Structure 1
Amino acid sequence: MAVSTEADIRGFSSADENRVHLNSPIDESKLLRKIDLRVVPILFMTYIVAFLDRVNISNALTLGLPAELNLEGNQPNVALTIFFVPYIIFEIPSNIVMKKLSPRIWLSACIISFGIIMIGQGFVRSYGGLLTARFFLGLAEAGIFPGGFYLISFWYEKAEAQKRFTVYWSSTICAGAFGGLLASAIANMDGIRGLSSWRWVFILEGIVTVLVGFVALLCVTDFPREAKWLSPEEKEFILQKTGNNESHTVPVVANDMLAFLSQPRQWFAATIFPMD
């Protein structure tokens, strides 16, 4: 009885895999560069604005937000924390929705939504309004990070994907590096149009986010099977190479969720993620 290999499980034998890599008329390195330019940069940009919009409240707290909204005691900390309640709960459901629709539509809708919420956060007048804005901001942002990882995994083999995950994740470094500088520059707008500088931080960064959302609507790619910028031969090459033959037409069932949750490494990863 033949022993199944990992390649067999993915749908083709090791001999087929060698044929894909060695005998295919597709120039793999050229195709990889093409995918890199189409997939990674826009996801990198989307997570920069998502991270900025998540953490810019820290800058606002130093620019007079607590005094103007009469925050007391632990209220600033509650405003920071409430973001993560919907953010954690809706990450997996968001990926399921993205799979049913398309990455381009869903990710763009999320970005535009939290950009609008961010603009609205610049006009809050009370502690309750701030909490409401932060809650819905977390809800809208829930799909960005897992959605980016999920989408990248469909385009690359595991070894290739790890490098792209690193690039994607490094967007937080860029956001952290420039977020404070940007807020410092916006601080000079205090009093313009009768608005405090902390309000301008939210409003201007929200406007930029909405613009990025519309760019994403044009530039975010779908799964390989639906990508219009690939030839049929290139699509087949990617699908065979990665073994990811799914598209948004393949439903997610309960067994998929149970299989995921039954793997100890998933729980380990979930445990160490907050420590980052």
Structure 2
Amino acid sequence: MSTEKDLGTFISDPENLSEGSFYKNSDSVNSDGNPEEEVEKLAQSMGVNQRSLMRKIDLWVVPPFCLLYFLSFLDRVNISNAKLYGLAQDLNLTGNQYNIALTVFFVPYVVFEVAANYCIKFVKPHIWLSALIVSFGAISIGMGFVTNFGGLVACRFLIGITEASTFPSIFYLLSTYYSKAESQRRFSAFFSCTALAGAASGAIAYKIHDLDGTHGLASWQWIFIIEGTITCGCAFILFFTIADFPEESRFLNDNERTFLKKKLEILNGTKSAYEIKNSLKDVGKCFKDILIWLPALAYFGLIIPSYGYAFFAATIINQMGYTAVSANQHSVYPWLAAFVLINITAFLSDRFKRRLPFAMFASVLAIIGLAMILGATEDPHVRYAGCFLTASGLYTAMPLIVCWAALNNGSHIRKSVGTAWQIGFGNIGGIIATFIFLAKDAPVYKPGLSTCIAAVCFSMLCTTAYFFTIRRLNHLKQTENYKIEFEQMEEREQINAGDRNPKFVYLY
């Protein structure tokens, strides 16, 4: 068999895995000892205190990313709060124009995800991401001065372009600092900022109502202006604090960078492949792999109800009998409940080194919540309780699935493409979400809520399929045929294939 066998074909079908092979490992990767013991010996030999180093990484890596995505999500969903304060009326929006304004954000957001993650290897992350933050903050300010539907659509489209890189790039970068067993609580701490941003959006909107008419501007305009200004200001702070890849990290010394890289090679069973300059052909090969597609489909199923909730929760609460101001206030509390559950579940998931049970639990919780909102049409208290379960379940399940997939991708190119495609393709669900909650269906929104329940069920099916696929691959990679043919592949292809290394164990 030729050692030039196309890796994309090789990895696209689990049945073909015993016909390929892969990679001349470094000594650390090849070792057959206990990985944790090897890492401890490595730390002693290099004079590294692992706990101190981990605290240092947690301090320098996670908080800036939390702030970055908090700002990103805040500027993305504040349009729902602005709508309650008269945006649609002042801009003379008719029919489904509000829904269209929501939709145009997702078109460039989906299209540019993979390209953005590809570019971040060529432009240092702290430069790339802080420039994007300034951009979408400025555009958000501009939304406060639009006077018609066309201006609103243009701003939403530009925000979609500038935000395309934020979410997948953060997951990509985080996955290069932590091992599989360390990752979930860090990923979820970052992702829980989505819940905080949702809560803050409602709380800020609640307070901003008092500015209505100040300097001739309506309260909905002040929402965009104030939140956009905060974003631009924070961008300058983030320029100095956003972490680059570990190999070029500014807060680690040479010894710490070397240790971290070797540690992750030992624990993951693969080289990082950071030094390899990947081509578009390498990117294309990734798309032939079922492990790139199943997590993307699972995330897609969760995005539909998640954005449906983010964009329309305040409106639903408003139609339960609350005033617009009170609806913004009451929209805060389900987000806070979600923040708590996200982090508790993440801690337990890392503690037990399991992903599937917790993802399924969160998904079931979301289904129960959506069913309560759908079914209790005459009881606003039950519908409001359903909002707590819906937000908590959805926003807990999403980081579990994204982190699970990101850490199961073993090389830089697979992490880059995998995270970008999962989030990019998944956000097609955002387009669907904007058109299933139509004004004519208020206040029950039966078609939208029914679609959301079906979407979560679809996500659970894809998540289950992913679980069985990687479990089977874990067994298949231990066969002699797989190991022998693995060794025959060219080194560059072996490294790029990452998690297909026999020593890489998929977490599930």
TM over 0.5, yes or no? yes
Task: Report deviation, 1:188.
Answer: 1.2
The one-letter code matched in structure 2 to 1:93 is A
Partner residue of 1:85?
A: 107
Provide the aligned length of Structure 1 versus Structure 2: 272
**Which residue does the alignment assign to 2:117?**
95
Could you tell me which amino acid in structure 2 is paired with residue 123 of structure 1? F
- d(CA) in 2 for partners of 1:7 and 1:114? 44
Q: Which moved more, 1:133-142 or 1:149-158?
A: 149-158
Structure-2 residue corresponding to 1:40: 62
Q: Pick from 177, 186, 203 the counterpart of residue 155 of structure 1.
A: 177
Tell me, yes or no, if structure 1 residue 271 matches structure 2 residue 290: no
Structure 2 unpaired stretches of 5+: 1-20, 266-270, 303-508
1:178-203 per-position Cα deviation (integer Å, ceiling 9, x unaligned): 21111111111111110111010000
Q: Residues of 2 paired with 1:33 and 1:255: CA distance?
A: 38
Aligned-partner Cα distance in 2 for 1:245–1:193: 54
Alpha-carbon shift at residue 144 of structure 1 (Å): 0.5
Please state how far the C-alpha of 1:22 moved relative to its aligned partner.
2.4
Q: Say whether the 8 Å CA contact 1:7–1:14 is kept in structure 2.
A: no
- The one-letter amino acid of 2:300's match is P
Q: Distance in 2 between matches of 1:190 and 1:250?
A: 55
Unaligned runs of 5+ residues in structure 1 are none
Change (3 A) 1:31 1:180: same
Q: SS in structure 2 opposite 1:100? A: coil
> What's the offset of the Cα at 1:23?
3.9
Residue 20 (structure 1) shift:
3.5
Return the TM-score normalized by structure 1.
Answer: 0.92
Which string of whole-angstrom CA distances, capped at 9 and with x for unpartnered residues, describes residues 6-52 of structure 1?
Answer: 99489732258544332422111110110000000010111111001
Check whether the contact 1:8–1:14 (CA below 8 A) recurs between aligned residues. no
**Matches of 2:59 and 2:28 in 1, distance apart?**
28
SS in 1 for 2:29: coil
Q: In the TM superposition, what are the counterparts of 1:203-214 in structure 2 within 5 Å?
A: 203-214=225-236
- 1:167 has 2:195 as partner: no
**Per-residue Cα deviation, 1:225-267 (whole angstroms, up to 9, x for no partner):** 11122121111011111236454x6433134313321221321
Question: More displaced, 57-66 or 225-234?
Answer: 225-234
- Paired residues of 1:114 and 1:137 also in contact (CA < 8 A): yes
Give 1:29's aligned amino acid: R
Q: 3-state SS of the aligned residue for 1:77?
A: helix
Q: Aligned partners of 2:150, 2:254: CA distance in 1, in Å?
A: 53
Q: What is the aligned-residue RMSD (CA, Å)?
A: 2.1
Looking at structure 2, the residues matched to 120 and 106 of structure 1 have their Cα atoms a distance apart, in angstroms, of: 22
Cα distance, 1:215 vs. partner? 1.1
Quick one: distance in 2 between partners of 1:167 and 1:256?
Answer: 32
Question: Could you say what secondary structure the match of 2:121 adopts?
Answer: helix
Task: Write the distance in 2 (CA, Å) between the matches of 1:216 and 1:119.
Answer: 19
Does residue 1:120 correspond to 2:142, yes or no? yes
**1:220, CA displacement in angstroms?**
0.4
Whether the aligned pair in 2 keeps the contact of 1:87 and 1:138 (CA below 8 Å) is yes
Q: Does 1:66 align with 2:63?
A: no
**CA gap 1:10/1:191 in 2 versus in 1, 3 angstroms:** farther
Residue in 1 that maps onto 2:41 = 22
Q: C-alpha distance in 2, partners of 1:198/1:78?
A: 19
* SS state at 1:163 partner: helix
- Which residue identity does 2:114 align to in structure 1? I
The equivalent residue for 1:260 is 286
Offset from partner CA, 1:97-130 (integer Å, 9 cap, x none) = 1111011001101111100000011111110000
